[in-house]
């Protein structure tokens, strides 16, 4: 089990809201990042707080302005991007066109998975949608990813991605029986392929968790953790897997991921435990042993410390571990 597969299966990525935007010049749309909210420890979070958006240009040309990027980006057919929840963008037919509506407002007008917007001039077709992740997470998966990933159609190693883009665009255009199911599955495949293309094209720019996953030595250790979370890992044994000295491994792990190796192991054990507990088909001792604890007492103590609630409270009120104790580092800083 590689780390990306393990994390996405555990946190349940789901595509939703796919639609086709038929824009005609002049047009301009804005996506504003939401105001920051403090989530009460006793309550559930807004489900939109762990969402990543995507868009792909199926026809025509347009311009994209991204928060934190100095110059407007020209987009052509086949270009696509992922957008984190907390990033603002403007898309328009021209850098000089001012946005007059939000993407949300236009999405509210969708009929048969198509929205129309603009002044009737040159056409542009954009396939849009979002990905939602399981809310029972110690750290929103959207925080493991860059705020913005752009894949240009002429980048290398994107043949599989292009095939998926074309299939998704075709599915959204034809609306044949079962198109909703097919487009959802294609969008979920698209998500992973965009990450692959991003990693392949800009390995030196990857930071944090993505950088660690694809680092030869750290990635080997992370793969071992995700493959066998119940192993009694120590810093020494993980360093041996990585082919590094204990001190060099510990220092590099902390530098790249922002937490110690054993903090990462414990956090991921608790993430897996939350998934197992929600299934409600195993005894507490069985869950404990599946994530590497010999006794339910030791497991319960660690769960309360990391998640911020005991197992009963977690299940009773749908506790969201993203508001876990501030003193404990969660996965993938």
On whether the CB atoms of residues 122 and 19 are closer than 8 A, the answer is no
| pLDDT at residue number 33 | 77
Cβ-in-10-Å burial (0-12, 13-18, 19+) of 157 comes to exposed
Q: How far is the C-alpha of 222 from the C-alpha of 218, rounded, in Å?
A: 6
What are the tens digits of pLDDT across the range 108-130? 999 989 999 999 999 999 999 99
Predicted model pTM: 0.72
| pLDDT at residue number 102 | 95
Q: How far is the C-alpha of 202 from the C-alpha of 149, rounded, in Å?
A: 10
Query: For 3-204, which CATH class?
Result: mainly beta
Query: For 210-323, which CATH class?
Result: mainly alpha
On whether the CB atoms of residues 203 and 156 are closer than 8 A, the answer is no
On whether the CB atoms of residues 208 and 257 are closer than 8 A, the answer is yes
Residue range(s) occupied by CATH 1.10.10.60 in the chain: 210-323
Mean pLDDT, the chain cut into blocks of 10 residues (333 residues total): 72 84 97 62 46 92 94 94 88 95 93 94 95 65 75 75 86 84 89 81 63 85 92 97 96 90 92 87 93 94 90 73 35 35
On whether the CB atoms of residues 18 and 184 are closer than 8 A, the answer is yes
Residue range(s) occupied by CATH 2.60.120.10 in the chain: 3-204
What are the tens digits of pLDDT across the range 60-77? 999 999 998 989 999 999
Q: Which value, to the nearest 10 degrees, does the dihedral of the CA atoms of residues 169, 170, 176, 178 take? A: -50
Q: How far is the C-alpha of 150 from the C-alpha of 84, rounded, in Å?
A: 12
| pLDDT at residue number 94 | 96
Buried residues in 260-275 as b, exposed as e (16+ CB within 10 A)? ebebbbbbbbbbbbbb
| pLDDT at residue number 207 | 58
């Amino acid at each position: 089990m590689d780390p990306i597969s393990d994390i996405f299966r555990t946190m349940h990525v789901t595509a939703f809201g796919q639609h086709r935007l038929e824009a005609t010049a002049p047009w301009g749309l804005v996506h504003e990042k939401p105001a920051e909210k403090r989530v009460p420890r006793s309550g559930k979070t807004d489900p939109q707080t762990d969402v990543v958006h995507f868009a792909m240009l199926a026809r025509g040309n347009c311009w994209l302005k991204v928060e934190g990027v100095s110059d407007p980006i020209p987009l052509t057919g086949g270009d696509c991007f992922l957008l984190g929840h907390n990033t603002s963008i403007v898309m328009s037919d021209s850098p000089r066109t001012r946005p007059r509506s939000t993407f949300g407002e236009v999405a509210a007008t969708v009929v048969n998975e198509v929205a129309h917007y603009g002044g009737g001039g040159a056409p542009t077709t954009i396939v849009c949608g979002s990905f939602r992740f399981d809310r029972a997470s110690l750290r929103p998966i959207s925080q493991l990813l860059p705020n913005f990933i752009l894949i240009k159609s002429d980048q290398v190693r994107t043949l599989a991605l292009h095939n998926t883009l074309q299939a998704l665009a075709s599915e959204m255009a034809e609306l044949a029986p079962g198109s909703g199911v097919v487009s959802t599955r294609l969008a979920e495949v698209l998500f992973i392929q965009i990450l692959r293309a991003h990693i392949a094209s800009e390995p030196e720019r990857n930071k944090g968790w993505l950088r660690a996953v694809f680092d030869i030595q750290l990635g080997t250790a992370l793969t071992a953790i995700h493959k066998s979370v119940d192993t009694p890992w120590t810093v020494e044994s993980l360093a041996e897997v990585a082919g590094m000295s204990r001190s060099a491994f510990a220092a590099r792990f902390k530098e790249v991921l922002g937490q110690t190796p054993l903090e990462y192991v414990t956090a991921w054990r608790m993430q897996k435990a939350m998934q197992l507990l929600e299934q409600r088909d195993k005894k507490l001792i069985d869950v404990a042993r599946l994530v590497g604890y010999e006794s339910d007492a030791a497991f319960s103590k660690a769960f309360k410390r990391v998640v911020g609630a005991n197992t009963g409270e977690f299940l009773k009120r749908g506790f969201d571990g993203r508001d876990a104790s501030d003193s404990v580092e969660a996965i993938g800083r």
